[in-house]
Structure 1
Amino acid sequence: MTINFKKTYRFAVKSALYITLFSTGLVSFLTYLFFTFSYQFSLLFALSIATFSFIVIQYRVERFIYKKVKKIYDDVSLLESSTFRNQPITTDMATLTREVKKFATDKKLEIETLKVREEYRREFLGNVSHELKTPLFMVQGYLSTLLDGAMNDKTIRKKYLERAEKGVERLIYIVQDLDMISKLEIGDLNLEIAKFDIVKLVQNVFDLLEMKASKKDILLMFDMRYNKPIVVLGDQEKIQQVVMNLIVNSIKYGKLKGSTEVSIEDLTDEKVIVRITDNGEGIEKKNIPRLFERFYRVDKSGARTEGGSGLGLSIVKHIIEAHEEKIYVDSTFGVGSEFSFTLEKVKNN
């Protein structure tokens, strides 16, 4: 921190002026009463008093304020504030007040941010523990049962090993999703950007999820017949994962004999927006801001019975943001939800 402080003379000038006016006026009045009045004497006296007052006030007040202000700077700089450490000390009260107020506001925001992050970290660790604990205990339970003697029964042995394998598959699925999110966050996952037909991609996802949707008698459909390809730019594999995760989510929370509708619209000359709409149970407003957090579930109990890693929407958000695009959600509780995202459009030549 530099010691070259900013000086201010306004206080000393005003104070010296007040003292000079009073002293000169008093002396002039007394001289007029008891002696012969002289303008030269009054002017000389005024200049002398003004100079002396200014020097004394400026020096004394500045040294006093400087000592107090320097202590404030020293105390504040202990908090490792780069703002204060890089700026010269000032004895200007307005500047100092502004800087201290800004510093206090910044620190308050930092503290609030740290509290939010700590709360998120605590909740995240609890969610990870819960998600991993369930399949781990399942695998451990089946293997322990086999080791305790059930291995001799071929029927039970096969059934329990198959169930244990499902538990291991879920663990692998969770770890793979976490690994993907980590790579997306640090920019370590390379996107293979190419042209592809988004209509064909959505139809492929419909075909893959047809059996899953049929279990709840949910109809997967477009909003209209798309006779021509709609060519966009992006990583086809990752965008397919986005569409699949969103449609799986709509099926998971959809109602029996419901529907999931996909529409592809021109948003601007350069962008298209893909909308995935369902008439399921919908989402309460209080849950919408946290939908894309890792392991966050709207239904804390029922959702886990549907399977999945709890990372689907978080992965969707990271993939779309890696494409430098936007994702939106609009939902009415009890009516349904709409998830939409943008993609760069390839213009027809």
Structure 2
Amino acid sequence: MKLRTKLMITFFTIVLVPIAMVYVCIFALGSFQARTLKSDYDITGVGDMYSGASVQVFNSLTMNVQHDIYEIAGKDPDRFEDSEFQQELNQRLAGKYSFLVIRKGEEIIFSGNAGGDEEELKTELPDYRSSDERNDNKSGSVFSSDSKRLIKQQDLTFSDGTRGSVFIVTSVGELIPQIKSMFRDMTLAVLILLIMISALLTMWVYRAILRPLGELKKATKEIKEGNLDYELKIKEKDEIGQLCLDFEEMRQRLKDNAEEKLEYDKENKELISNISHDLKTPITAIKGYVEGIMDGVASSPEKLDKYIRTIYNKANDMDKLIDELTFYSKIDTNKIPYTFSKIDVNAYFEDCVEEIGLELESRNIDLGFFDYTEGPVMIIADAEQLKRVINNIVSNSVKYLDKKKGIINIRLKDDGDFIQIEIEDNGKGIAARDLPNIFDRFYRTDSSRNSSKGGSGIGLSIVRKIIEDHGGRIWATSKESIGTVMHIVLRKYQEVVHE
């Protein structure tokens, strides 16, 4: 769920849920109180209390007693002079926040208002109703705003001809205890609901926003302190969750870059060590032969010529190492200078074999060339870099020849849309565990270094890089003590025919 959606849900929850819950509470508690009022006071119009029409509620409160007074006033008015009957009626009204008042003539003959001021009450009581009013029962009710009393009046005539009135006085200023309890319960219920809703929303927001931000802050601190292994585990799929995922991806990339840098630094140190060792070997030899010439050890022209040739060969070895190092730096920055052109593979390899053969012959190594293709085969390649590939592979084969008579064969094979080049030697071979790694930089099948099997350890990695940049593929097969075959596959050049 997106963060925007969560915020919208939170907003509508804060606004609508409390309103709905308050309504439910009012309805539930109101219904309960209505049943209570109906049971205790026989009141059915509780809805008027909610709307503010409390007079109507209190009017209905004493309706039954009022009806009885109306009946007795018409049939037996003298009963209102009976003290027992007076007390009975007043007792019925006492539970309804009301009391009974009976007036005969101008005097009050009964007042149920214990401890009340009769003179003040007398002034509040309405006068007798006029005989010309169209009201057969001569009854009515008034509301005193000063004392907040509802006064119901029932006029009558005693048997001796004296006019009289029976009053039901209800104190509107005092609410019924159940109604007070109802509003108190409603207020308490609304407060509890608001607190619960706020707590739930706070927990939800905390889990959705604050907790992931806390985890993100902790992860940031860990990375700042250099701990790139601290993993940020966030399952949310909102904007913050996506931010955490991006942060985790950034951490992983930082970790990978740091590991690559460590590996790169390690490889550079190894390269420097290898080059230093491999340069030291020919330099030591050159110094030795030069000292021999200076000391007159090379006394004959033949011996002097041998020393000079040896110095020349060692200088060539040094030049190759420096050239290899220079090329390696170009590989590392992807700045290899390629000049692609259309090349006739058959003629190209004939020239390569002729050139390499002269050097191998001086080392008592036979070089064979076998062309199994039909007709001229063209490829798009950089002639100089492809020659570097052939020389590196052949040099590597020469380095590990362990037979008295070394043999290196180069074969060209037609493979449909591709040309396959195989360079085979009869050297000591490569162990199966080492074979998948021989094209990695600085990988050595022979961990012990010596002058005869030196090298920078980047020759075959250069070969793979050049072949892959040509859109080709290279791999090796080998058998220990028998020899190794390097397989190179390059795509043929095909003319596009326009119709």
On whether the aligned pair clears a TM of 0.5, the verdict is yes
Partner of 1:55: 198
Partner of 1:222: 370
Which of 253, 265, 273 in structure 1 is aligned with 2:414?
A: 265
Partner of 2:290: 143
SS at structure 2 position matched to 1:285: coil
8 Å CA contact retained: 1:293, 1:314 = yes
SS at structure 2 position matched to 1:329: strand
Partner of 2:380: 233
Partner of 1:330: 477
Which 10-residue stretch deviates more, 252-261 or 127-136? 252-261
8 Å CA contact retained: 1:146, 1:157 = yes
8 Å CA contact retained: 2:406, 2:426 = no
Q: CA separation of 1:194/1:280 partners in 2, compared to 1, >3 Å: closer, same or farther?
A: same
SS at structure 2 position matched to 1:173: helix
User: 1:296, CA displacement in angstroms?
Assistant: 4.6
SS at structure 2 position matched to 1:150: coil
Residue type of the partner of 1:221?
A: F
User: 1:229, CA displacement in angstroms?
Assistant: 0.8
CA RMSD in angstroms comes to: 4.9
Which of 316, 341, 348 in structure 1 is aligned with 2:463?
A: 316
User: 1:315, CA displacement in angstroms?
Assistant: 3.2
User: 1:160, CA displacement in angstroms?
Assistant: 4.0
8 Å CA contact retained: 2:281, 2:451 = no
1:72 and 2:215 equivalent?
A: no
Which 10-residue stretch deviates more, 53-62 or 188-197? 53-62
8 Å CA contact retained: 1:150, 1:157 = no
Give the distance between the partners of 1:113 and 1:307, measured in 2 at CA. 26
Partner of 1:119: 266
Q: CA separation of 1:173/1:56 partners in 2, compared to 1, >3 Å: closer, same or farther?
A: same
User: 1:301, CA displacement in angstroms?
Assistant: 5.7
Partner of 1:175: 322
Where does structure 1 lack aligned partners over 5 or more consecutive residues?
A: 82-89
Give the distance between the partners of 1:309 and 1:65, measured in 2 at CA. 53
User: 1:54, CA displacement in angstroms?
Assistant: 3.1
Which 10-residue stretch deviates more, 162-171 or 128-137? 162-171
Q: CA separation of 1:324/1:197 partners in 2, compared to 1, >3 Å: closer, same or farther?
A: same
Residue type of the partner of 1:237?
A: E
Aligned ranges 1:89-100 → 2 under 5 Å: 98=245
Q: What's the % identity of the aligned pairs?
A: 23
User: 1:135, CA displacement in angstroms?
Assistant: 1.2
8 Å CA contact retained: 1:197, 1:232 = yes
User: 1:272, CA displacement in angstroms?
Assistant: 2.9
Q: CA separation of 1:123/1:306 partners in 2, compared to 1, >3 Å: closer, same or farther?
A: closer
8 Å CA contact retained: 2:400, 2:453 = no
Residue type of the partner of 1:126?
A: S
Q: Which has the larger radius of gyration?
A: 2
User: 1:130, CA displacement in angstroms?
Assistant: 0.9
User: 1:318, CA displacement in angstroms?
Assistant: 3.1
SS at structure 1 position matched to 2:419: strand
User: 1:175, CA displacement in angstroms?
Assistant: 1.0
Residue type of the partner of 1:339?
A: M
Give the distance between the partners of 1:326 and 1:107, measured in 2 at CA. 31
Aligned ranges 1:1-349 → 2 under 5 Å: 8=6, 49-59=192-202, 62=206, 65=211, 68-69=214-215, 71-72=217-218, 74-75=220-221, 78=224, 98=245, 102=249, 105-147=252-294, 149-150=295-296, 153=299, 159-211=306-358, 212=360, 215-216=363-364, 218=366, 220-222=368-370, 224=372, 226-254=373-401, 255=403, 256=405, 258=407, 260-266=409-415, 268=417, 271-293=418-440, 296-299=443-446, 304-305=451-452, 311-347=458-494
Residue type of the partner of 1:234?
A: A
Number of residue pairs aligned between Structure 1 and Structure 2: 330
8 Å CA contact retained: 1:202, 1:240 = no
Partner of 2:123: none
Residue type of the partner of 2:353?
A: F
8 Å CA contact retained: 1:283, 1:333 = yes
Give the distance between the partners of 1:311 and 1:187, measured in 2 at CA. 15
Residue type of the partner of 1:262?
A: R
8 Å CA contact retained: 2:476, 2:487 = yes
Give the distance between the partners of 1:91 and 1:221, measured in 2 at CA. 66
Residue type of the partner of 1:287?
A: D
Give the distance between the partners of 1:145 and 1:261, measured in 2 at CA. 40
SS at structure 2 position matched to 1:281: coil
8 Å CA contact retained: 2:346, 2:377 = yes
Deviations 1:138-181 (A, max 9, x none): 2233334555x337956566554443333322212211222233
Q: CA separation of 1:263/1:135 partners in 2, compared to 1, >3 Å: closer, same or farther?
A: same
Give the distance between the partners of 2:444 and 2:193, measured in 1 at CA. 75
Higher helix share: 1
Residue type of the partner of 1:170?
A: D
User: 1:134, CA displacement in angstroms?
Assistant: 0.8
User: 1:235, CA displacement in angstroms?
Assistant: 1.5
Residue type of the partner of 2:344?
A: D
8 Å CA contact retained: 1:193, 1:235 = yes
Work out which structure has the larger RCO, using CA pairs closer than 8 Å and 6 or more positions apart in sequence.
Answer: 1
Give the distance between the partners of 1:95 and 1:46, measured in 2 at CA. 40
Q: CA separation of 1:110/1:46 partners in 2, compared to 1, >3 Å: closer, same or farther?
A: farther
Give the distance between the partners of 1:213 and 1:198, measured in 2 at CA. 23
SS at structure 1 position matched to 2:433: helix
TM-score after normalising by structure 2:
0.51
Q: CA separation of 1:227/1:120 partners in 2, compared to 1, >3 Å: closer, same or farther?
A: same
